[in-house]
Amino acid sequence: MAGELLTKAYVGGRWVAGRGGTFPVYDPATGEEIAKVADCTVDDVKEAIESASGAFEVWRKTTAKERAAVLTRVRDQLIKEKDNMATILTRENGKPLTEAKGEVGFAASFFEWFGEEARRQYGEAIPSSVPSKRMITIRQPVGVAALITPWNFPIGMVGRKVAAALAAGCTCVLKPAEDTPLTALAFAKVCESAGVPAGVVNVVPCSRARVQEVGAALTESPKIQVLSFTGSTAVGQWLYSRCGQTLKKLSLELGGDAPFIVFPSANMDKAVGGAMASKFRNTGQTCVTANRIFVHESIHDEFVKRFSEAMSKELRIGQGLEAGVNQGPLINKRQYDRLVKMVDESVAAGAKVVRGGKSPGGLYYAPTLLIDVTPSMPIARQEIFGPVAAILKFKTEEEVIRMANATDMGLAGYFYSNDLSQIWRVTEALQVGMVGVNEPMVSTCEAPFGGVKRSGLGKEGSKYGLDEYTDLKYICFGI
């Protein structure tokens, strides 16, 4: 597989051309075309659904131990192909190669976790209220899963979804983001090499022009019993409305607007390091990145000074395959133009640029630090999804909680404090699904990942991740 770019769709264990021809995939670092990929149509998707539906009748009957063995082989194959997959990922996504390698390992961890967790998906014996009955529960796979993954973690999110679906006994139809289909197709090859049975995993890429019709085909099919999507809230809402027609189970991981709060008692070194790690990973293009950084007025100037110094010292822009680079390009022109507009409008409204605020060319945007930001500015009201740190001052704990919760999103939140009572108060007050207390990195296969409010439904990872792909069946015995 080394060095190989796979461009055909993967359906029913076969590599097939898309009925819609091909579409180009570009390197965001250079603008050069990397490959032309199969542009799947509704008919291709229907074929993939039929393939997954047929395979489900066999896969569902395998034991948890048998499925675990398959998932372990996928994990091993991912690790074996880590360097090649990371190179493909960096070329089509732009993220630094070191981050890309870490992401492949992250994906592999879910196959290990869910392979083990599937064998521990226990039922219950329920005490009966009458002597003539015995009651138990078991979990069974839902059916065919439609999995729609984003461009910012093109193997990490594939791993998190596919591993859970397969461990539960489901089969899947995977639709990768149009900006990053090559990584998903490389993953399909991993599955093939690992001996995943034909039809259990199907990958159907498509161009941006076909996204809506392909999405509609997945939502409308009665053979798709569960849909899992990671992406924007707007698309999630559209999918949610469409899935109502067939009453599918839904798992939606949508937009984020994470607050990052620094209280006076915080360890300044850890707070600055945490803000750097949270804000600039993947060039700020993550749903759990620090979106609004709130700093207490008593330590504001010191934090800004040290944060700016850290940015100057630690961040290096460039092509992801270059050694030492940790800030790549934005994924495409739409995201770039959106970020430029957001920053320019905020500066016009009174925000001050401490560093950055411009582009060195192409789709690159200099890591930027803004102060004097107010809650009404665009940079504080929208998901930034880029390397821009917006600093807002606050006076009291009550004020910052109010500002942090003044959003319709609720995915992740972070804060730094060494006041134990405050830690409990703020943890419980933040309206988010995940909280990092003196810790910027919360994602791991062992923990539940998901949000509240308009940041989505359901949980991924952890023992709870299997719930999205199973039905709870109650059995009552008369004796």
- For residues 289-321, one letter each, b for 16 or more C-beta atoms within 10 angstroms of the residue's C-beta and e for the rest, the string is bbbbbbbbeebbeebbebbbebbeeebebbbbb
Bridge partners, 290 (sequence order)? 258
Whether 389 contacts 275, CB under 8 Å: yes
E strand map for 316-387: 352-355, 368-371
CA–CA–CA angle 297, 300, 306 (5° rounding): 165
Exposure of 365 by Cβ count < 10 A (0-12 exposed, 13-18 middle, 19+ buried)?
buried
Q: What is the dihedral of CA 197, 200, 206, 210, to 10 degrees?
A: 150
The Cα–Cα gap between 39 and 23 comes to: 6
Exposure of 408 by Cβ count < 10 A (0-12 exposed, 13-18 middle, 19+ buried)?
exposed
The three-class DSSP label of residue 84 is: helix
Whether 276 contacts 314, CB under 8 Å: yes
Catalytic residue among 40, 170, 287, 445: 287
- For residues 141-159, one letter each, b for 16 or more C-beta atoms within 10 angstroms of the residue's C-beta and e for the rest, the string is bbbbbbbbbbbbbbbbbbb
Whether 404 contacts 294, CB under 8 Å: yes
The Cα–Cα gap between 469 and 189 comes to: 24
The three-class DSSP label of residue 155 is: coil
Catalytic residue among 50, 99, 117, 253: 253
The Cα–Cα gap between 81 and 355 comes to: 39
Bridge partners, 35 (sequence order)? 25
Active site residue 287: yes
Active site residue 399: no
CA 393 to chain centre: 30
Catalytic residue IDs:
253, 287
